[in-house]
Structure 1
Amino acid sequence: MVSVQRLVAATSSTAIRLAAFVFLRWIPGHHFVPLVFTSLVVYLSSIASLGRAAQPRGRRANQSQTDTRSPAQSVDSVFKTLLGGLPHTKLKWLTYTTVVINVVLTLLCLDFLTRGHLLYPNDDIAFSRIGYVSPTTANLVFREPEAAHLPVTVMYQEATGVFETWHEEGIVYSLDNSTDFTVSVTIQNLKPSTSYRYSLSNNRSGTFVTSPKPESPEASRLSFVTSSCLKPNFPYNILSHPLRVPGIELMTDVLAKLPELLRPTFMLFLGDFIYIDVPYRFGSSMSHYRSEYRRIYSSPSWSYGPAESRAIDLPWLHTLDDHEIENDWSQGNTTSPYPEAADPFIHYHVAANPPIPSTPVADPHNVTYFTFTNGPASFFMLDTRTYRTEPARENSTILGHAQLHSLLTYISTPERPGIHWKIVSSSVPFTKNWHVGTTDTWGGFTDERRIVFEAMWRAERELGVRIILLSGDRHEFAATRFPDPALSLSAEDLQPNSSGLGLHEFSVGPLSMFYLPVRTYRQTDDEDVTVKYAPQGNSKFGIIDIVDDVEDADPNAVAPVPVRSSVLTYSLYVDGEVAWKYRLSVPLDQDAVAHASLSDSAKASRLPSGRVIEDNISELGWDVVLGSAVGRVPELAIWALGKCQDVYFDLLERVQKAERLS
């Protein structure tokens, strides 16, 4: 019969190993930290107790008996010791080995948890980066904590040759802790579609390219990259720098291999740039939030790769999400810790972001949503955290009144000539096809979502533009379309995993973080139609390329008619490799479309169906089946709990009714 002490030793050892594996390689959740350390204490105590209990009896047995165990029993004992953590009755070195394994695993968890915080506070970090770039300006943010390096002179020149004249933009004479020693400078009087260098007198420098002049030939093309969510040194590698971000390096390699014409002009990063509460929240003060931003910007991954392809020289535009505040945040912008979290977000990111809407409705100093145009597209960057209320309640709002009004105004406003795409970005997905954590997405605000969608469908019908939705947050990729009910599409056009008509959302993440092999996304109605779902990959990002080309007015027609169009191609990259490509278009020659032989749905929409042009994602395999089955467990558990609750209240009502009759 197995003793309680041996059972405790085996159980605690298994808990250490499973929890450490999950924590270091799968999900760095804060629940695993106390589990690993507590299990180690229990394990070491039980091993010591077993050793004391067995020692005298073991000596007597060695003196009077010979070992009569079979080789199979010996192997079984070794197996139990190495894999189960139990002490070996004869080979002490084997016992020491299994104990060391558990201690080392715990130390690795401790290293992942604390090395970056203890060894890299980075109070003295100095860095510079470019944010929003217009045809004539570029927003520069830099940090300089050393008073000896002040004042800092900002210089720039065209990058067309070594003999170009340097121009002085300005001089920063003082920096202090009120902004964490950061400052933003707008470089002005630039030429459109031109490469520039900037140089600071504190030995910081970089490059950038201005956006094209509206309605110029260059303005018909745009390429940019989008993703969300990053955490240094995950999956954990003991030999890696604790601040290294593998996903940034994978992205840098991909972008460096692209032809110059296809290189993205900016990164649209959709939230969770820091994880203040993963794997463990060390505090909620302003200094804690600031230190997380400093650590990310201290990562060696920003300077990885060729000098002309460094990630730090790619302009980054940022939206806010929950892990930059607190998980599933919905408490507004005055409740702590939002004010503490917003401080570094404003200094490090908002300061370099695009301008706020020209008519923001709210106080401009309290606006954290942005609009801009670049080439053939205009953008509205939503803030779905700052103004939201509790989800799934009457009159719940994810945007707040002022932001909703600004968004509806943006959607209904005709664009100037040459702009054929309205791109709306959100930190959380619009689709309600995710069935775990649904209320943290737009799925918890379906009334407001319906208002926004109706405005978007109307704009696509009346303004001659196409609206694209971009989002992140979920550590998975999903492409979803939301068909306009006015199109009256057939049941065949609304089947899962099909391309077609409707608003399209591309939700992607993480850039560098964990993913769940559990499938929690699937279509359940005709409102949110699945186009593609890809949960695998620790690094996922999308590259969007827009260019004038020739596309079919109706790809499903018997005799397709080629029409000059603005064509958008979405390319999904998973762990550095192309996984999936999808294409949408906006016809530029409406006369050709009018004379084309189109299907009824194509005539009603005025926009062609989307189509898949490359798919390297397997939909078969045991991992898909198992992941789908496991993904249903939380939903089934909630369903069962609801049924039990209904039965309980029904029984209670019957009892009360019987008592009243009595």
Structure 2
Amino acid sequence: MVATYVASFLHLLFSYTLLRIVPVQHLFLFDLVAFPVSLFLLSRDIVVDWYLPTTAAKAHHTPGDVGKSDAAPRRRLSDKALSENAKKSKAAEAGEAESMAASDSGCGKNSVHLHADKGLSFGKIFLLVLNLVSFAMVLDFVYRPVLYPGDELVVFRPGYVSHRSAKLHIRFPEPDRQLEVRYKELSGGDKVEFAANTPWETHTIHQALTNETDYTATLLISNLSPSTKYLALFRLKLHGTMQIKTAPAPGTPMKYRFATGSCIKPNFPYTPTTSPDVFGFANMLEHSDGLDMVMFLGDFIYSDLPFYFGPEPEDYRRLYRQVYMTKSAQRLLNKVPMLHVYDDHEIVNNWHEQDKPPMGAAMRAYHEYNGNPNPDPVEAHHAYYNFTVGNIAFYAWDTRRQCWAAAQKQHFMQWLHDVNHTAAVKFVVSSVPVTAGWTNIDSDHDTWRGYMTERAEILNVTQYVPNLYYLSGDRHEMAAVVLPSGNVEFSTSPVSQFTFPLIGEFKDGEFGEQTLHYRRAGHVKFGILDVDTETNPDAPRVTYSLYTADEHGAKRPAWTYESNGVPWR
């Protein structure tokens, strides 16, 4: 009996931890062992409690052989013998009465035990049902990408939008059909009103959408006007409609608002539902009316959590489709352009093997869904890029393929030189933190703490670049840190994933750093940055606001930091 309860407890513990605390693969494998053991022991005990006591009770009341005739001849007895036999007979009758009373008492005790065993078995039946339900939820959570692969998913969303062009990301799983996108300039503020005498423009997608690219394509619309709203229509689907707004001309002072964060897993913490969602996207969607962009900092999928299904492109594509299928992702991504960098879980945890398999298959799926709609990379087949919105400049590193390779290093240093006195505010985007504050067991190879020489080389240059900020994610925690260079880093995650409330360590003051704010707990955390280079062009202002579902339901900031810029011209 003890073994039964121990096995059931372990199975329920593994299931709960996997579904609600941290969805790691080891827990799933442990659960696969604990569940059949628990199922066997509970089933055995229920059978024993119900069947064996009933059989024993029936056996106890089975009538024996009585009244058999004595074949021995009768003997004549003397009066004295008869008298003695009479006394013995009375004594025997008294003993038999006591024996029957004892027997009746024993039957009563057996009946009590029988009822007690059945009462105990009802508890085990409930425990059995609980084990079955919890394991069914585990299977739903783990195998949903396989059971519901999203083959019919349709995507129509904006990618990178510059002052003269816009990238539109499309997935349409019907081959051999000519697709067209129509777009037209809007006027009248937030209302959908068409500009007078402006004809519809039509762009035909000439490339065939096939399973070679998972029926995806990125369409580039050019010759747009700066600071202008457009309505785009995907003709073959009624819901394929979106508005896009082009950026101001380069160098134009502006007010710009964008969200940042990393790490999402649909339906975590797990909730039984037929329509899983990305809870952090649902919270972010409440602020989407004022957002110009979302800069997503990596771990958009988790290829190895809670189970690694394989190294083929389709194994990765299913996970992207699972995210894009969620209702909050569809609404947010249709409304706000989202740009990306990738991190380790787009490949496999703590990836640092550069171009070895399965990176080729993983990057193929990444580019089909998230990479191609980004600004064009500096080098073909790589993922680092830069762009400018008005007089705000961005540089996105590729930290997994080449943490600080020569080509990327040279281009980044040239970019710093170019934007030093031409952009009022600069943002450097890294999938992993630049701060050395995290001292976890994997920090030496999964953050810039493990590359202190290269980090020092970077910071020695950026300390002379005015109004430069770092953005990062990855750690499933949040920290705002003043780096030794004087630049501020905002590291924000997870947008919608697990966190470790009791594990991990962040040290203040490491290598001359200063921690402004640190927050560990919270399954939903994202930042929103308001950049104002318009009110005072010579001294731009940057405001970072942290939103977490644990405080105010992510409707109001949990923490805010205001940074007054310095002259930059």
TM-score range, shorter chain: 0.7 to 0.9
Letter of the aligned partner of 1:279 in structure 2? P
1:407 equivalent in alignment to 2:412: yes
CA contact 2:145–2:318 (8 Å) conserved in 1: no
Residues 1:22 and 2:22 are matched in the alignment: no
Residues 1:572 and 2:546 aligned together: yes
* Residues 479 and 507, structure 1, Cα contact 8 Å, conserved in 2: yes
The answer to whether the aligner puts 1:136 opposite 2:156 as a matched pair is no
Q: Is the 8 A contact 2:46 2:121 kept in 1?
A: no
| Structure 2 equivalent of residue 511 of structure 1 | 495
Of 53-62 and 339-348, deviating more is: 53-62
- Please tell me whether residue 323 in structure 1 is matched to residue 345 in structure 2: yes
Stretch deviating more after TM superposition (58-67 or 168-177): 58-67
| C-alpha displacement of 1:317 | 0.6
8 Å Cα contact 1:426-1:471 kept in structure 2:
yes
- CA 1:95 to 1:121, structure 2 compared with 1: closer, same or farther past 3 Å? same
Q: SS where residue 407 of structure 2 aligns?
A: helix
Candidates 12, 29, 46, aligned match of 2:7: 12
What do the CA deviations read for 1:463-510 (whole angstroms, capped 9, x no partner)?
xx22100001111111111134xxxxxxxxxxxxxxxxx111100011
User: Deviation digits for residues 174-215 of structure 1, max 9, x if unmatched?
Assistant: 222232221111111111111111112222221111111133
The structural deviation recorded for 1:528 is 2.5
Structure 1 residues 153 and 332: CA distance shift in structure 2, 3 A: same
* 2:193 counterpart residue number: 162
The CA deviation at 1:347 is: 2.0
Tell me the residue number matched to 2:437: 433
User: Match of 1:280?
Assistant: 307
Task: Give the alignment of 1:13-412 within 5 angstroms.
Answer: 13-51=8-46, 56=52, 59=56, 63-65=107-109, 90-118=119-147, 120-147=148-175, 150-160=177-187, 161-164=192-195, 165-173=198-206, 174-203=208-237, 204-216=240-252, 219-239=253-273, 241-242=275-276, 244-256=277-289, 263-304=290-331, 310-333=332-355, 335-357=356-378, 364-387=379-402, 398-412=403-417
Cα deviation for residue 147 of structure 1 reads 2.8
Aligned residue for 2:286, secondary structure, equals helix
Q: Percent identity?
A: 31
Cα distance in 2 between the residues matched to 1:444 and 1:471: 16
Q: Which has the higher contact order (CA 8 A, sep 6+)?
A: 2
Checking the alignment, whether the CA contact within 8 Å between 2:424 and 2:533 is kept in structure 1 is: no
**Distance of 1:56 and 1:142 partners within structure 2:** 65
What CA deviation, in whole Å up to 9, does each residue of 1:355-380 have, x standing for no partner?
334xxxxxx32331000111232111
Which range is displaced more, 264-273 or 521-530?
521-530
Cα distance in structure 1, aligned partners of 2:321 and 2:134: 28
Does structure 1 conserve the Cα–Cα contact (< 8 Å) formed by 2:158 and 2:333? no
Q: 1:380 to 1:274 in 2, by over 3 A?
A: same
Paired with 2:547 and 2:529, the residues of 1 have a C-alpha distance of 11
Q: Provide closer, same or farther for how the CA distance between residues 163 and 402 of structure 1 changes in structure 2, counting only shifts above 3 A.
A: closer
Aligned residue type for 1:213: A
Q: Distance in 2 between matches of 1:546 and 1:90?
A: 67
Displacement of 1:550 in angstroms is 7.8
**Equivalent position SS for 1:39:** helix
Could you tell me how far apart the structure 2 residues matched to 1:589 and 1:64 are?
95
Secondary structure, aligned partner of 1:320: coil
Q: Is the 8 A contact 2:428 2:469 kept in 1?
A: yes
Identify if the C-alpha distance between structure 1 residues 447 and 96 changes in structure 2 by more than 3 Å, giving closer, same or farther: same
1:81 aligned residue: none
Whether the 8 Å contact between 1:221 and 1:375 is mirrored in structure 2 is no
Say if 1:504 and 1:163 are closer, same or farther in 2 by CA, change over 3 A. Answer: closer
1:178–1:116 Cα change, 3 Å: closer
How far apart are 1:423 and its partner, in Å? Answer: 0.7
Cα distance in 1, alignment partners of residues 343 and 431 from structure 2 = 6
Residue 412 of structure 1: how far off its partner (Å) = 3.0
For 1:451 and 1:349, locate their aligned partners in 2 and report how far apart those are by CA, in whole Å: 30
Q: TM-score, normalised by structure 1?
A: 0.72
Closer/same/farther in 2, CA of residues 421 and 56 from structure 1, 3 Å limit: same
Q: Does 1:420 align with 2:424?
A: yes
SS at match of 1:110: helix
Matches within 5 A, 1:434-583: 434-436=438-440, 437-439=442-444, 440-457=446-463, 459-460=464-465, 465-484=466-485, 502-518=486-502, 519-523=504-508, 525-548=510-533, 565-575=539-549, 576-577=554-555, 578-583=557-562
Deviation per CA, 1:293-335: give whole Å up to 9, x if none.
Answer: 222222222344xxxxx442210111010110011000012x1
Distance 1:101 1:63, change over 3 A: farther
Deviations 1:106-149 (CA, angstroms, capped at 9, x unpaired): 1111111123420x21223221111111111111111122136x
Corresponding position of 1:616: none
Q: Following TM superposition, by how much is the alpha carbon of 1:159 offset from its aligned partner in structure 2, in angstroms?
A: 2.3
Structure 1 distance, partners of 2:8, 2:35, is: 7
Partners of 1:311 and 1:93 in 2: CA distance: 50
SS of 1:288's equivalent?
helix
Aligned residues: 502
Contact 1:376 1:546 in 2 (8 A): no
Cross-structure match for 1:626: none
Q: Report the TM-score when normalising by structure 2.
A: 0.83
Cα pair 2:425 2:467 within 8 Å, conserved? yes
Residue pair 1:193, 1:212 contacting (<8 A) in 2 also: yes
Q: Shift of residue 274 of structure 1? A: 1.0
Distance 1:409 1:589 in 2: 17
- Which residue in 2 is equivalent to 1:586? 565
Shift of residue 152, structure 1, vs aligned partner:
0.9
Q: 1:480, 1:506 within 8 Å by CA — same for their partners in 2?
A: yes
Structure number, greater radius of gyration? 2
Per the alignment, in what secondary structure is the counterpart of residue 408 of structure 2?
A: helix
Distance (Å, rounded) in 1 between the aligned partners of 2:387 and 2:538: 26
Unmatched segments (≥5 aa) in structure 1: 1-5, 78-87, 257-262, 305-309, 358-363, 388-397, 485-501, 552-562, 591-662
Q: Quick one: structure 1 residues 438 and 221, their matched pair in 2 at CA, closer, same or farther if it must change by over 3 Å?
A: same
Q: 1:95 to 1:367 in 2, by over 3 A?
A: closer
Contact 1:412–1:455 (CA under 8 A) maintained in structure 2: no
